[in-house]
Structure formats: structure tokens, C-alpha cells
Amino acid sequence: MARYFNKLAFLPADTDQARQAAEALAGLYGDHPADEAEAVIALGGDGHMLHVLHRFMSTGVPIYGMNRGTVGFLMNHYREKGLHERIAAAVENVVRPLSMTAIDEDGRSHVALAINEVSIFRQSYQAARLRISIDGRVRLEELVCDGVMVATPTGSTAYNLSAQGPIIPMDAPLLALTPVSPFRPRRWRGALLPNRQTVEIEAIEPGKRPVNAVADAHEVKSVRRITIRESLTESGVILFDRDHSWDERILTEQFRY
């Protein structure tokens, strides 16, 4: 039986288009404080959706996005009419973020969550040299590259796809390990990993070839070692229209040419 959400909160991105949409929708449906809402309506683009998902992580409050930004892959189409009915009929998807622990050059530990991906990038003009281990076993002794990322199914259609990584269905228990501009080994194009596995990435020559780690929008400078795994405790809820579901978007994206 469809759940009906009476108390809605409208959270716009910091743009005129998003703010005007929030004002129009609040006039039609009312606008409740976010901490009292039964569902949150995110108005903006994919970056704003990630921000809202982080804010409401593990609260159980579902997030329904409407595109008032640019790409909007995580968003539904913007329409003002029938919003209660659309949300009630929407498909619910559970998002499980990655947990990143990064150790910097001073030995300090930094912990952050990533809904899309954890990325490691070269900090200077020199290529990064990285050692990659899976569940404590070295799988790639040396990767010379601009960077490497671990992407969730949610993030597989974002930066991961731009780096020629695979698209992963939302409910697939997989993570994508994808290099960015690999120089050596030239033919290594990454790996698909079970989401229960832990990835450890170690910087080789961190003084000469410094690297940064980024978990969504959270960046850590000059890291020596990064540990990444799917969080066992955190989750978020995102809603998609049935006629524009995540599965449909994944299929459409894979047949673009």
C-alpha cells in the first residue's frame, strides 16, 4: 500500500531557479521544518541532492529530488501538479555510502562518507604512484596514474562513467574500482568488487608525489593511506518516479551512442 506523505519540506539549492520553485511549491503544499518533515523535496541538481542525502543520512526520511539544476541524473522531472500522489507512488531506493578513512602526512586520521565515490588524485605535476590492496592482499603493486576511485552504484553514472568505469544497477552488491588516466599498467581498466570487500590505497613516494583524497565534497590533502569500504551502519533513502526509475535510467544510459 502506497504511503502518503503529508508534511513536506522544500530544500532548494542556492540558485534563483531553485528558490523560485521552492516558493511556488510551498504555496501549493505548505512547507514544514526539515526536522518535522515526513519527506524532503530537494530542488536543484545532483550536487544539491548529494548534499541533502548527506544531511539526512540514517534518519529514515526519504528524499525526493526535482531537477532545477543541470544534469539531474539523481532527480525527477520538475512538475508542480500532483506532488503528493507522485511521492506516494514513487519507488524507494536505499543508498549505502562508502566510509573513507584517510591518514595524512602528519599521521592524522580523517573519516568521511561518500555517496558517489572516494577518489585519490595527484596533487602536483607528477603522476601518482599507488599500491592497491583488497582485504589486506596486494592486488596491484604499482599503479602510475592521475588517480583512482572507488564508486558506489549511485556514483557509477557520475565521475566513474566519465573515467570509462562500468555502470552498476542500484541494487547490485558491487563497487567499481576505476583508474583515472592510467599510465602503467596501460591495459588495466579497473575492477568490479563485491561491496563487502575493503580497499586500501597506499601512496608510494608521498613526499615526491603527493596525493589528495576526496569523499564526495570532503577533501583531505597529502594522504599516505586510504581505507575504503561500504558503511555497515549508514544509509539514506531516495525516491524516484515509477515512469523514470533508476533502473530505467541505467538502461537508457547504457544504450546511448
Domain ranges of the chain: 8-96+235-254, 98-230
Determine which helix (DSSP H) or strand (DSSP E) holds 9, and give its type and residue range. strand 8-12
Question: C-alpha grid cell for residue 1?
Answer: 500500500
Q: What are phi and psi of 245, to 5 degrees?
A: -70, 170
What is the spatial distance between Cα 116 and Cα 107, in angstroms, rounded to a whole number? Answer: 26
CATH superfamily of 8-96+235-254: Probable inorganic polyphosphate/atp-NAD kinase; domain 1 (3.40.50.10330)
pLDDT of residue 2: 59
**Secondary element (H or E) of residue 10:** strand 8-12
Q: Is 170 helix (H, G, I), strand (E, B) or coil?
A: coil
Q: Sign of the CA dihedral 73, 79, 80, 86?
A: negative
- The Cβ of residue 252 has, within 10 Å, a number of other Cβ atoms equal to 10
Residues with a catalytic annotation lie at 46
What pLDDT score does 246 carry? 76
Residue with grid cell 549511485, as numbered in its chain: 154
Stretch 93-103: mean pLDDT, rounded?
96
Q: What is the tens place of the pLDDT at every residue in 19-57?
A: 999 999 999 999 999 999 999 999 999 999 999 999 999
Whether 117 and 95 have beta carbons less than 8 Å apart is answered as no
The pLDDT-based confidence of 152 (bands split at 50, 70, 90) is: very high
- Reported pTM: 0.91
Contacts of 6 (CB under 8 A, 6+ apart): 38, 84
Q: If you average pLDDT over every residue of the chain, what do you get?
A: 94
What's the mean pLDDT in 79-100? 94
As a whole number of angstroms, the distance between CA 39 and CA 238 comes to: 10
Integer angstrom CA distances of residue 139 from 78, 94, 123, 227: 45, 30, 24, 15
Closest listed residue to residue 114, CA positions, set 142, 151, 86: 151
pLDDT given at position 72: 79
Task: List pLDDT tens digits, range 120-144.
Answer: 999 999 999 999 999 999 999 999 9
Determine the average pLDDT of the residues in 70-93. 92
pLDDT value of position 4: 76
- Model confidence at 8, pLDDT cuts 50, 70, 90, reads very high
Question: Of 31-40, 109-118, 149-158, 246-255, which range is least confident?
Answer: 246-255
What Rg value do the Cα atoms of the chain yield, rounded? 20
CATH of 98-230, one of 2.60.200.30, 2.60.40.10, 3.30.2130.10, 3.40.50.720: 2.60.200.30
pLDDT exceeds 60 at position 203: yes
